[in-house]
Amino acid sequence: MHLDHSREKMNFSDEYLLELALQGDRACFGELIERWQRKIYAFICRYVGNSTDAQDLTQDTFTKAYTNLDRLADPARFPSWLYKIALNECRMRFRKERRAQSVPLPEEEGYPGRPELAVETATPETRLAVQEEIELVREAFKELPEEQRAVILMKEYQGLKFHEISEILDIPLSTVKSRMYLGLKTLRKLMEKR
């Protein structure tokens, strides 16, 4: 069964679209890409800190997802599975390029957690102070271990729940919470030193 109208596809669940995609309906997988592309791109962009690499890695993520659809045991876990592929693609890219594991926070517009957006009408002095504070947070964030950065990005910037992060990283829920707690604690200490 092939769906002809994109309006119709918008009403279907991810699980149903996956079922149709597994039967060979590429348009249904295309709809899934449309639904998830912005979230996956935002996650990857925050992780790698570079929009060009993020675009490539987002495309690689969806390509890998499509070629491995038959390996997805539970269609209800598609979002977690997709984030896991994205994270693995990022890690493989870092390994291949032998980059340092520091991950700068990007400065794209509309970036969640950008307090400077709230003070756009503030005085120049206030804006400068906010910019300096943001830069200090970015620098401190780079110093966190990769596993703590990943959890903080997923929780605070992607809005994922702890159990979703646990599935994506394939680690116990308690480990996710521990990494979050330790990451935030370390970040506070690093900020106090500055």
Q: What is the token pair recorded at 44?
A: 């990857």
Residue where a domain terminates, one of 64, 99, 134? 99
Does 109 score more than 70 pLDDT?
A: no
* Domains: count for the chain: 2
Over residues 32-53, the pLDDT tens digits come to 999 999 999 999 988 888 889 9
What is the per-residue pLDDT for 141? 83
| Domain match, 38 and 79 both | yes
Torsion angle in degrees (nearest 10) through CA of 93, 146, 75, 4: -50
Q: What is the token pair recorded at 82?
A: 């997709």
The domain that contains 177 carries what CATH number? 1.10.10.10
What is the per-residue pLDDT for 133? 81
Single pTM value for the model:
0.68
Q: What is the token pair recorded at 119?
A: 């003070």
The domain that contains 48 carries what CATH number? 1.10.1740.10
Residue range 45-65: mean pLDDT, rounded: 92
Over residues 1-36, the pLDDT tens digits come to 454 545 555 678 999 999 999 898 999 999 999 999
Ranked by mean pLDDT, which of 48-57, 58-67, 118-127, 149-158 comes out on top? 58-67
Residue 56 CB contacts under 8 Å (≥ 6 apart), including other chains: none
CA-based R_g, the chain, Å:
19
- Of residues 92 and 165, more confidently modeled: 165
Q: Which pLDDT band, with edges at 50, 70 and 90, does 96 fall under?
A: confident
| Domain match, 127 and 177 both | yes
Distance CA 59, CA 65 (A): 10
What is the per-residue pLDDT for 81? 94
Distance CA 175, CA 81 (A): 19
Q: What is the DSSP letter of 104?
A: P
Mean pLDDT score of the chain, rounded to an integer?
A: 82
Q: What residues make up the domain containing 166? A: 111-194
User: How many C-beta atoms lie closer than 10 Å to residue 36's C-beta?
Assistant: 20
| Domain match, 169 and 191 both | yes
In this structure, is residue 180 part of a structural domain?
Answer: yes
Residue where a domain terminates, one of 45, 78, 99? 99
In this structure, is residue 161 part of a structural domain?
Answer: yes
Lowest-confidence range among 36-45, 63-72, 114-123? Answer: 114-123
In this structure, is residue 53 part of a structural domain?
Answer: yes
- Of residues 116 and 21, more confidently modeled: 21
Q: What is the DSSP letter of 148?
A: H
Distance CA 44, CA 42 (A): 6
Residue where a domain terminates, one of 99, 125, 159? 99
In this structure, is residue 2 part of a structural domain?
Answer: no
| Domain match, 20 and 69 both | yes
